[in-house]
Structure 1
Amino acid sequence: MDKRKGRTIKIERTSTRLQHSLDYLFDYYYQAKKSEGRAENTLNTYVQNYNYFCEFLEERKIIRDIRNINVEVGRDYIIWLRDEKRRFSDNCNVPESVRTVGLLPKSINTRIKNMKTMFKFLKEEEVIEADPFTYLKNVQDIGKDIEVLTAKEMNDLLKAPNQRKYSDFRDFVVINLLIDGMLRVDEALTLRKTDVDFTACCATLRREVTKTRKPRIVPITKRTAKLMQELIRESTEFGSENIFLYNYGERLVPNHFRHQLKKYADRAGIAKRVYPLRGDAVTRGRRSQRHLQVILGHADGRMTAHYTHLYDKNVKKNHDEFSPLNAVIGKLEKPCNTNRQS
């Protein structure tokens, strides 16, 4: 639109303006990925990262038009993420103490990667004429060595929840499951009662919740299976198909559990940064490379043919013998019945 002598003059057609709209282009990209069957969590990540970019554009007063986006804008976006973006600003449930300014290089590169992937896709589809982020480089990430927990520290972590409280017992069961099955947090928390075979002692991870979009079956020990059954009995009144619930019946979400995990680590006197235990579990006990590949659900093109059938008796036998829980609590320790308060 142009204004001359008090009159508004239309220059571009509405359809032309629309095709340059970032919101329109993002929706085109989102719908394409949705049609490809991307996981719900992955689609939510696309939305979150696009919202980050829109927040930056709004602060810089840049109109959301593809013609306003170039590599210089991309570099300014990186600087904004590093020096100005407030962490967890969109999450009111996170304590003020962790809402620090500036993202870590790994987080910045994740945000950039998502936008670069979108623009590359739009260019390949010939929806846009040029990819504005082609020459945008990632932030150098020196990184830090990840200190895995010792068996004693993991044992102390397991002792930290007060099992007389429902919420603590629930978290205690999640911790056991994460160590035992070496699951990702979101994989564990999305488990439904029908996903677990308590007789065969295995859990089925549905394709819509796995990172690779492939279903897999993960063996668990009898001890973990009994703990999960006990938790289900504790939450019968909610009538939910989900296993891990808040004390008001809604499904537990990963961010809340991560916050709880940090609380238990502090209670146990663990100075190390406690990640969601997947890496720690991998280091415990002996197990074959094939067993790890199947249980962890890592995508590896060279091994695809070997993992068509994700579960067999040999994997289950291997897991019973070498479960990470054995190195943490010992094979003979059994769960105790405890009267809990909500």
Structure 2
Amino acid sequence: MSKKIRMYSRRGSNLPTKSSKEEIPIKTLFEKFLSEKSIEGLAERTLHDYNIYFNYLMHFIGENIINTQFTKDLFKSFVVYMLHEKGLCPVTANVRIRTVRAFLRYCYLNGYIKEPIHEHFKPVKTKEDTLESFTPEEVKRLLSTVDVGSYKGFRDKVIIYVLLDTLVRCSELVGIKRKNIDLKTGFITLDSEGTKSKKTRIVPVTNKTTKLLKEYIELTDVYGSDFLFLTYEGELLSDNTVRKNLSELGEKAQVNKRVSPHTFRHTGALFYILNGGDPFSLQKILGHSDMSMVRKYIQMTNTDVKKQHNVFSPLNRVF
């Protein structure tokens, strides 16, 4: 078999890929990688994050490196640099590692590098997810701190209810369209282009949230926007603004935990189970295909376990 034939794409394409002997700057390769990811339908925020994490790598190895200089030792040294020189926690380092690993895999599969470096450039081991959930008292404190007399305050109250009730991600929250809210049946449809899995998902809402949504929708009718959550000027609310507002609310309420959309998602999942919900319906609401991901969202404290044990102890079947 000729060398040219051996360089055909490993994906089974009939077109030959670039030879790994051709010298190509890493920045050029990364632009090609981003272009392919964009065609695959990755969200703009994900592509933006890829750029940020790639820049961290560039800061370490330099912008002038070419593909023929790629080695597994070079990229492994990037891990050492992040953990021991920059002092990053394993969770933060792994976010950057996964992005670079996906890029290296792309380079290998398309023939830009000979060695499957991505197989040796793996995430580092981390402790079990220990993200703290809110207590019911902390949720009440957050809500009591909101100034519901202002537009921003009332909107933020609705956001907290929706986050906790539906367990949606922040990117899914800001992408909710008014036409996809069914107040009669109590369901919100999340369009496929706005979900992480790229699949349409339908999430239920309770009567409490439905009443707030009805009031908020009537209040914002004047803007004529397709989207639900808007700024005071009627513009689409960004996920960064949601995160910033919740963080400021947490400081004001003196909640000494990370107050973020993701913490509300964890909290909602935990409360769902503690209230007697089953993990299978929770998996569907969260939008996870893997039950192991659902398990990571349910981080019970010893007090939670004790309360559940008092209710469901095997001895209760005997006595």
- For the aligned pair, the TM-score class normalised by the smaller chain equals 0.7 to 0.9
After superposition, residues 175-190 of structure 1 pair within 5 angstroms as 175-190=160-175
Q: Distance in 2 between matches of 1:114 and 1:202?
A: 35
Runs of 4 or more, structure 1, over 6 Å off, are 15-18
Provide, for residues 315-339 of structure 1, a one-character-per-residue CA deviation record: whole Å limited to 9, x for no partner. Answer: xxxxxxxxxxxxxxxxxxxxxxxxx
Where 1:42 maps in the other structure, the secondary structure is helix
Q: Distance in 2 between matches of 1:147 and 1:169?
A: 26
**Alpha-carbon spacing, 1:75–1:193, altered in 2? closer, same or farther (3 Å):** same
The structure whose residues are more often helix, as a share, is: 2
Where 1:20 maps in the other structure, the secondary structure is coil
**Alpha-carbon spacing, 1:139–1:288, altered in 2? closer, same or farther (3 Å):** closer
Aligned to 1:279: 266
After superposition, residues 35-50 of structure 1 pair within 5 angstroms as 35-50=39-54
After superposition, residues 246-285 of structure 1 pair within 5 angstroms as 246-276=231-261, 277-284=264-271, 285=275
Q: TM-score, normalised by structure 1?
A: 0.70
After superposition, residues 293-308 of structure 1 pair within 5 angstroms as 293-300=283-290
After superposition, residues 1-342 of structure 1 pair within 5 angstroms as 20-57=24-61, 61-82=62-83, 103-142=88-127, 145-276=130-261, 277-284=264-271, 285-300=275-290
Q: Distance in 2 between matches of 1:230 and 1:103?
A: 44
Report deviation, 1:222.
2.5
Q: What letter matches 2:236 in structure 1? A: R
Report deviation, 1:231.
2.1
Q: What letter matches 1:267 in structure 2? A: K
- Contact preservation (8 Å) 2:146, 2:249: yes
- Contact preservation (8 Å) 1:184, 1:278: yes
CA RMSD of aligned residues (A): 2.8
- Contact preservation (8 Å) 2:181, 2:189: yes
Report deviation, 1:18.
7.6
- Contact preservation (8 Å) 2:27, 2:63: no
Structure 1: stretches of 5+ with no match in the other structure = 1-14, 86-101, 303-342
Percent identity reads: 30
Q: TM-score, normalised by structure 2?
A: 0.74
Report deviation, 1:81.
3.8
- Contact preservation (8 Å) 1:167, 1:247: yes
Structure 2: stretches of 5+ with no match in the other structure = 1-18, 293-319
Report deviation, 1:68.
3.3
More displaced stretch, 65-74 vs 257-266: 65-74
Q: How many residues align?
A: 269
